Amino acid sequence: MIPNDRNLPNLAHDLVRIHKVITRGLSVGVTRGREFLGDGFPSQDLKRGFADYIRSLVSVVAAHHLGEDTIAFPALKERLPDAPYRRLAADHKKIEAALNPLRESTPEISGANPLAGLGVVVAGLRKILAIWPSHIGLEESSFGSKSIAGVMTPEEQANVSVLMARHSQEHAGPPFLVLPFVLFNLAGADRDAMAATMPAPVRELVQKEWKDQWSLMKPDEAFFPGLGPILSSATTPVYRFFTALIKSASKPYAVVSGPGLPSTMARLDNVSVWNSTMDEEPSTL
């Protein structure tokens, strides 16, 4: 019998959760990037914060796919040999090719000629968005909870998840930007679940020693109810960058389209929390 306990390790849920982070990051990157191309950056802090945001997004996407290719997919292929591994790996290569120009151009955003780098970044993100919805739709339908639970024990799923987390920590960076980026692009139970995977000393680093390094991406606590228990310093002054990103993204998935999107969007139900919160906030910072 397949276990039906939400407290058991669930590799499928772990994959969906990081997909939510990346989906929102891509959408926010394109939405705000287009605005900055048209209107420029209203402040140096916003310019630096956006560069950090894109830098974190690129790092998370690359590390996630590398972890799938080297850890998750080999483990799953032994048990689910008929899944579309070649198609998924081919998508990863296309996305990686789109990431390379972003790596080179993101530093320009915080430099003397930000619009030059910004144009490359927006174009690259749009290329990824052309692939992303169908990619995660195929992946999540191929590796659903029931399918994985039918061939892997909870202990085996936990082992794969732990190995992928370690792999991501080794290949994604810098951690003082990436970890807050992952947390702040989730909401509610998803963010709580992600934070629970981080040891207490790491959460301590995020809220204290690393705070000055990620502060330009710090959201207003009002946009993420429950942030306080994870980052106890959430009552400190609001930093403008992430607040502006969230306010601007009242429909953060509107730019995402393609095969597989309806099922993917149905699982991204926390967007309704963000929308209702943003509608209640003033439109200016």
pLDDT of 98 over the 90 cut: yes
When pLDDT is averaged across residues 23-36 and rounded to a whole number, the result is 90
Amino acid at residue number 98: A
The 10s digit of each residue's pLDDT in 179-229 is 888 888 888 888 888 877 777 777 777 777 777 677 676 544 322 333 444
Can you give the pLDDT at residue 44? Answer: 85
What's the pLDDT tens digit per position in 62-78?
Answer: 999 999 999 999 999 99
CATH 1.25.40 corresponds to the domain 11-269: no
Q: Which of 195, 200, 175 is nearest to 184 (CA)?
A: 195
Q: Which pTM does this prediction carry?
A: 0.74
Rounded to whole angstroms, the Cα distance separating 157 from 151 reads 10
What is the average pLDDT across 262-284? 26
In contact, 185 and 60? CB cutoff 8 Å: no
Domain ranges, ordered by start, for the chain: 11-269
The pLDDT of residue 173 is 74
Percent of the chain with pLDDT over 90: 40
Most confident of 18-22, 169-173, 184-188: 18-22
- Residue 5 has a pLDDT of 55
Lookup: tokens for 281: 């906030």
Q: What is the 3-state secondary structure (H, E, C) of the chain?
A: CCCCCCCCCCHHHHHHHHHHHHHHHHHHHHHHHHHHHHHCCCCHHHHHHHHHHHHHHHHHHHHHHHHHHHHHHHHHHCCCCCCCHHHHHHHHHHHHHHHHHHHHHHHHHCCCCHHHHHHHHHHHHHHHHHHHHHHHHHHHHHCCHHHHHCCCCHHHHHHHHHHHHHHHHHHCCCHHHHHHHHHHCCCHHHHHHHHHCCCHHHHHHHHCCCHHHHHHHCCCHHHCCCHHHHCCCCCCCCCHHHHHHHHHCCCCCCCCCCCCHHHHHHHCCCHHHHHHHHHCCCCCC
Q: Which of 15-24, 114-123, 165-174 has the lowest mean pLDDT?
A: 165-174
pLDDT at 217: 66
CA 254 from centre of chain: 16
As a whole number of Å, the CA-based R_g of the chain is: 18
The answer to whether 179 touches 191, Cβ cutoff 8 Å, is no
